[in-house]
């Protein structure tokens, strides 16, 4: 069966994530220790014990989610002799998950990935003063309808589609006043629900340009190798292998839209029969079922998941 490995984004974090993996497998503990050392921060303690509001801070959530994904990957490799290049045709990740995907595929070292995501989280947080930006989920409108709502609500401010997650699930991002207008307008246009999201900044919109500039500089200072399998990139929803092209796409991703619906459809079109979600939560598996019902899903985030997945290979 042709597989793609997918890696979750912000919102999948939870206090206690990775704890069972660390307790069960030395390989997982090694990953958490490497990340702690790279950041000069006891991130694994925060992941294990909380508090939740500190873990949810963008600069902590991003490297923490990557750490859990990479711990699960390292366990597959050490416990099951698993090699990504032999068992998967593609990798993809949702927003920050794209960095986890690239770490899994060997483009970045684990330490570089942790530092890049710390920088990314801090830069995204600083890009827009708290309270000036917002994001909203629009459910029940198709992508073109939701995009039209964003354009109509902008009125000279920034308001754009940030995540095209699944049919009828689009996230808008921009200045708070414009997003507030978009919520009202979406309801008028027949959305089942339109609601503000509890986020600290307006991700994946033009207001994030200062963060994109910061990432261009940070990415310019790290060594990047070609991934062992192609990455399906967020901003193009198509496969890429060239490190320089990946670098550009990661910068564009900060202000660009996460084309997740199209990415999963692309994978289905390439004959992928199973999406394996590696890390915390099952958000991407849920979205996949709505995008391409024919694709099987599997999760690798706990010791039981690891055992079941390796048995099924």
What the chain holds in terms of domains, given with CATH numbers, is 3-127+207-312 (3.40.366.10), 133-199 (3.30.70.250)
What's the pLDDT score for residue 119?
A: 98
For the segment 61-78, the average pLDDT, to the nearest whole number, is: 98
Enter the tokens of residue 311: 């048995």
pTM of the predicted model, to two decimals? 0.97
Query: What would the pLDDT profile of 263-279 be if each residue is shown by its tens digit?
Result: 999 999 999 999 999 99
pLDDT tens-digit map of 190-199: 999 999 998 8
- First-to-last C-alpha distance (Å) of the chain: 9
Instruction: Tell me the catalytic residues.
Output: 95, 204
pLDDT of residue 130: 87
At 155, the pLDDT band (50, 70, 90 cuts) reads: very high
Q: Would you state the pLDDT for residue 200?
A: 85
């Amino acid at each position: 069966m042709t597989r793609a490995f997918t890696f979750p984004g912000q919102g999948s974090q939870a206090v206690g994530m990775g704890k069972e993996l660390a307790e069960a497998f030395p390989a997982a503990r090694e990953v958490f220790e490497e990340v702690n050392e790279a950041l000069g921060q006891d991130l694994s303690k925060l992941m294990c014990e909380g508090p939740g509001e500190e873990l949810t801070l963008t600069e902590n959530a991003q490297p923490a989610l990557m750490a859990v994904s990479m711990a699960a990957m390292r366990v597959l490799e050490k416990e099951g002799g698993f090699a990504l290049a032999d068992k998967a045709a593609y990798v993809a990740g949702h927003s920050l998950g794209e960095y986890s995907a690239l770490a899994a595929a060997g483009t970045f070292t684990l330490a570089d990935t942790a530092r890049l995501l710390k920088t990314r989280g801090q830069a995204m947080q600083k890009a827009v003063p708290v309270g000036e930006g917002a994001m909203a989920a629009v459910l029940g409108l198709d992508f073109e309808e939701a995009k039209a709502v964003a354009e109509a609500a902008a009125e000279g401010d920034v308001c754009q589609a940030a995540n095209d997650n699944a049919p009828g699930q689009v996230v808008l991002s921009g200045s708070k006043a414009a997003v507030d207008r978009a919520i009202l307008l979406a309801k008028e246009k027949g959305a089942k629900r339109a609601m503000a999201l509890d986020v600290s900044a307006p991700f994946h919109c033009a207001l994030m340009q200062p963060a994109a500039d910061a990432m261009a500089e940070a990415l310019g200072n790290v060594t990047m190798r070609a991934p062992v399998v192609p990455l399906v990139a967020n901003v193009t929803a198509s496969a890429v292998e060239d490190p320089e092209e990946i670098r550009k796409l990661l910068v564009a991703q900060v202000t660009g839209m996460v084309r997740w619906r199209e990415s999963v459809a692309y994978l289905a079109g390439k004959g992928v029969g199973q999406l394996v979600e590696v890390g915390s939560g099952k958000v991407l598996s849920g979205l996949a079922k709505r995008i391409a019902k024919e694709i099987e899903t599997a999760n690798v985030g706990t010791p039981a998941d690891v055992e079941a997945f390796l048995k099924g290979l």
